[in-house]
């Protein structure tokens, strides 16, 4: 018969009696599984349909999320789709641009909870999510949806003793901290932007490991239906690495990834296919315009500027390529002063505006858009600005990317 001390040791240390380092490794593994469940299943599969997952893998993710977060698929999917539909507006459930970064960081879980009870949100944006017996009677049932996290607490205490409570606490805070707080907050406030999409999303880090690739948030908001969040050679998306593993095992099938520019060498002229290719790759085209036209021309003009205006140049540089809706009134005034007093910068800024305007002409037919693009290229060639002329010449090489097999 076990002694009192033996029973006490079992309660304190748990059945496995792990070392502190073993507990750390275990915690990192299980929280990573939770992150993978969110980014691969909830985000890329359920919310955006960027990939399909095998029913067995999908059910594992649903069970794991019930066990570790008490989140259900329909609510999360609906809230995220609403975020994209109304990003950076009053109707966005968690925009730091509207609510403030501090509120989103500290109250991200509360913002999610408040929106999750909005029946209109789930009805409008929650279509296509699971509605089987176990979803209705366990995962989404008002009296049983939280049972998973308490089951996890009991399991942790049995296995790890008193320290199991600490492990459980880390598991409970992981998604509210990193997903609801860091991604929804910092991901719309600090970082770098590969693309000037119409919201304030930013890439927090080029290496998306800790949060499964969600760190590449600007890439995602530019191409929300892409299963792969990395777009540049130095970027790494851990979620995509897992998707490739699941594909190899026959547990997933990718539907869409961000378009990759395709070029036809020695193409003689711009035609309708060129227009279609440029529309397909418009974000990369504008990113190249920033790199190959705005950046070198700005440096040349800055070098010619007087010492009195050099500091003003530096403060206004990013405004030449920033999405218009994200520029404050004060910044617009700086931009106006910069372009009004420099003919060359005014020219490349105006050509950027005109080029971007072509992509918005969706009501026009292909010939009209082709005519607009040819007019743009003619203006670029007549500008006398070498970087602009070379950029216009390169546009003819773009080709439509073949559909994903």
The arithmetic mean of pLDDT across residues 337-357, rounded, is 91
- Decide if 216 is inside a domain: yes
Pick the last residue of a domain from 229, 254, 279: 254
pLDDT tops 90 at residue 238:
yes
* Domain hosting residue 175, numbered range: 4-254
Least confident of 27-31, 159-163, 235-239: 159-163
The verdict on 330 and 388 lying in the same domain is yes
pLDDT tops 60 at residue 405:
no
The verdict on 124 and 268 lying in the same domain is no
The arithmetic mean of pLDDT across residues 53-59, rounded, is 98
The arithmetic mean of pLDDT across residues 141-170, rounded, is 94
Residues 232 and 255: their CA atoms lie apart, in Å, by 20
Buried b / exposed e over 321-354, threshold 16 CB at 10 Å, is beeeebeeeeeeeebeebbeebebbebbbebbee
Pick the last residue of a domain from 234, 254, 274: 254
The verdict on 52 and 128 lying in the same domain is yes
Pick the last residue of a domain from 227, 254, 281: 254
- Decide if 37 is inside a domain: yes
- Decide if 404 is inside a domain: no
* pLDDT tens profile 255-309: 999 998 888 888 878 998 898 899 889 999 999 999 999 999 998 988 887 665 6
The total of structural domains in the chain comes to 2
Average pLDDT, the chain: 91
pLDDT tops 80 at residue 7:
no
The verdict on 216 and 274 lying in the same domain is no
- Decide if 405 is inside a domain: no
pTM above 0.85, yes or no: yes
The verdict on 100 and 221 lying in the same domain is yes
pLDDT-based confidence at residue 81 (cuts at 50, 70, 90): very high
pLDDT tops 80 at residue 241:
yes
Question: Bridge-partner residues for 51, per DSSP?
Answer: 254
Residues 348 and 321: their CA atoms lie apart, in Å, by 10
Residue with the bigger pLDDT between 58 and 321: it is 58
Identify the pLDDT of residue 69: 95
pLDDT tops 80 at residue 312:
no
The arithmetic mean of pLDDT across residues 347-363, rounded, is 87
Residue with the bigger pLDDT between 221 and 328: it is 221
The verdict on 196 and 284 lying in the same domain is no
Instruction: Using a pLDDT cut of 90, give the percent of the chain over it.
Output: 70
Q: Is 250 exposed, middle or buried (0-12, 13-18, 19+ CB in 10 A)?
A: exposed
The verdict on 136 and 270 lying in the same domain is no
The arithmetic mean of pLDDT across residues 119-143, rounded, is 95
The verdict on 233 and 269 lying in the same domain is no
Closest CA to 277 of 375, 189, 216, 358: 358
The verdict on 121 and 97 lying in the same domain is yes
The verdict on 272 and 228 lying in the same domain is no
């Amino acid at each position: 018969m076990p002694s009192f001390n033996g029973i006490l040791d079992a309660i304190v240390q748990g059945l496995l009696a792990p070392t502190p380092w073993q507990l750390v490794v275990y915690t990192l593994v299980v929280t990573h599984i939770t992150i993978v469940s969110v980014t691969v299943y909830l985000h890329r599969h359920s919310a955006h349909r960027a990939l399909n997952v095998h029913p067995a893998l999908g059910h594992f993710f649903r069970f794991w999320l019930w066990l570790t977060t008490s989140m259900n698929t329909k609510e999360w999917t609906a809230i995220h789709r609403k975020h994209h539909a109304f990003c950076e507006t009053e109707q966005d459930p968690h925009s730091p641009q509207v609510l403030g970064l501090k509120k989103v960081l500290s109250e991200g879980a509360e913002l999610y909870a408040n929106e999750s009870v909005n029946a209109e949100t789930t009805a409008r944006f929650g279509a296509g999510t699971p509605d089987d017996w176990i979803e209705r009677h366990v995962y989404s049932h008002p009296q049983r949806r939280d049972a998973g996290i308490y089951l996890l607490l009991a399991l942790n205490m049995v296995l790890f003793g008193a320290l199991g409570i600490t492990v459980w606490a880390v598991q409970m805070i992981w998604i509210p901290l990193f997903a609801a707080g860091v991604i929804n907050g910092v991901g719309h406030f600090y970082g770098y932007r590969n693309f000037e999409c119409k919201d304030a999303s930013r890439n927090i880090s080029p290496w998306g490991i800790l949060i499964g690739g969600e760190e590449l948030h600007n890439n995602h908001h530019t191409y929300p239906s892409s299963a792969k969040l990395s777009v540049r050679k130095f970027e790494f998306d851990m979620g995509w690495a897992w998707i490739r593993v699941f594909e190899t095992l026959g547990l997933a099938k990718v539907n869409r990834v961000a378009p990759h520019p395709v070029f036809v060498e020695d193409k003689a002229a711009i035609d309708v296919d060129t227009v279609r290719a440029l529309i397909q790759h418009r974000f990369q085209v504008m990113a190249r315009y920033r790199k190959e036209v705005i950046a070198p021309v700005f440096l040349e003009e800055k070098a010619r500027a007087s010492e009195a205006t050099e500091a003003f140049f530096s403060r206004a540089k990013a405004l030449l390529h920033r999405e218009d809706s994200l520029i404050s009134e004060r910044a617009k005034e700086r931009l106006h002063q910069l372009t009004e007093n420099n003919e060359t910068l005014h020219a490349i800024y105006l050509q950027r505006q005109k080029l971007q305007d072509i992509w918005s002409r969706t009501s026009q037919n292909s010939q009209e858009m082709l005519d607009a693009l040819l007019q743009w290229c003619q203006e670029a060639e007549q500008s006398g600005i070498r970087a602009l002329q070379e950029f216009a010449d390169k546009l003819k090489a773009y080709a439509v990317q073949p559909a994903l097999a």
